[in-house]
Amino acid sequence: MHNLVRMRILGIDPGLRLTGYGVIERHGARLSYVASGTIRIPAAGELPGRLKHILDGMAEVIATHRPEIAVIEKVFVNANPQSTLLLGQARGAAICALVLAELPVSEYTALQIKQSVAGHGKAQKSAVQEMVKRLLKLSGTPSPDSADALAAAICHTSHIAMTAAAGGQLARMGLKVKGGRLVG
């Protein structure tokens, strides 16, 4: 069970060229920005070395910011199958870094993430950046990759809030959820 009062969340936007990350903190209903950035993976070189770059970069982010949970965007399959394969390998490496650090990992689709920050699933990149800036009271606009990663983390907080609210309502009705089922 996570602490619902204070929680530090790491969001990840995976990619083989750029992997975005964003760390936020949730205190009750209030969100605050901790850090964000982009792990740049060298375009040259063999795949194993590039995946190691993701593992090492993620490990450094985790060691520096000590999140308690992680959230990663469910990626879309790309029109180009070779790109889909490369993206899959990059995402696999990012998830490996998270499980090696023993972080619980939640996954949300881009649609869910956009809905939670911008109110609809077809929001443009720029709208996501703007909403992330507003929700976290940032002085500047985050890069697209950082914004997507921060948005993933924000999405998780709204998911937790909904689950908690639903739990509260159910409790008042004398019910609870166990193993995905309502029990009296």
Closer residue to its own copies, CB minimum distance, 46 or 183: 46
145 noted as active-site residue:
yes
Q: Does the footprint of its own copies cover residue 81 (CB under 8 A)?
A: yes
Report whether 14 contacts 83 (CB < 8 A).
no
Q: Does the footprint of its own copies cover residue 84 (CB under 8 A)?
A: yes
Binder among 77, 162, 164, 175 for its own copies (CB under 8 A): 77
> What is the spatial distance between Cα 54 and Cα 68, in angstroms, rounded to a whole number?
19
**Least CB distance from residue 111 to its own copies, whole Å?**
16
- DSSP classification of residue 121: T
**Torsion (CA) 124, 95, 103, 26 in degrees, nearest 10:** -10
Terminal-residue alpha carbon distance, the chain: 21
Q: Which amino acid is at 147?
A: A
Binding piece for its own copies, criterion CB under 8 A, among 20-28, 61-69, 89-97, 158-166: 89-97
**Torsion (CA) 138, 139, 145, 147 in degrees, nearest 10:** 30
Binding piece for its own copies, criterion CB under 8 A, among 83-91, 114-122, 125-133, 170-178: 83-91
Q: Which residues are near its own copies by CB under 8 A?
A: 46-49, 51-52, 55, 75, 77-78, 81-82, 84-93, 95-100, 105, 107
